[in-house]
Amino acid sequence: MPLPPSSSAERELSQAPAGPLCDSLGARLAYWREAQLVRHSLHSAGEPGLVLDLPCGAGRFWPVLAERANRVILAADRDAERLGQAMGGFAPALAARVTPLEAWVDAITLGSNAVDCIFCMRLFHRVADSEQRLGILREFHRVSRDTVIISLWVDGNYRAWRRRRTEQRRPGKDRQNRFVVARTQIEGEFRQAGFEIVDHHDLVPGYAMWRTYVLRKG
pLDDT digits (tens, 9 = 90+) for 40-64: 999 999 999 999 999 999 999 999 9
Task: Find the range with the poorest average confidence among 5-14, 78-87, 191-200.
Answer: 5-14
Question: Please, how many CA atoms are within 13 Å of residue 209, restricted to the half-sphere of its CB?
Answer: 18
Please state, rounded to an integer, the average pLDDT across all residues of the chain: 88
SS3 of residue 121 by DSSP: coil
End-to-end CA distance of the chain: 25
Distance CA 105, CA 139 (A): 7
pLDDT at 181: 95
How many whole angstroms separate alpha carbon 38 and alpha carbon 160?
22
pLDDT of residue 164: 86
Q: What is the pTM of this model?
A: 0.86
Residue 4 in this model has a pLDDT that exceeds 50: no
pLDDT of 23 over the 90 cut: no
Residue 196, C-beta contacts closer than 8 angstroms, at least 6 positions apart:
190, 215, 216, 217, 218
Report d(CA 132, CA 128) in Å as an integer.
Answer: 8
Pairwise CA distance, residues 164 & 152, whole Å: 16
Give tens-digit pLDDT for 161-197: 998 888 877 765 555 688 999 999 999 999 999 999 9
Which strands make up the sheet holding 115-120, listed edge to edge? Answer: 98-102, 72-77, 50-53, 115-120, 144-153, 210-217, 195-202
Q: Name the CATH superfamily for 8-217.
A: Vaccinia Virus protein VP39 (3.40.50.150)
Contact criterion met (CB below 8 Å) for 57 and 83: no
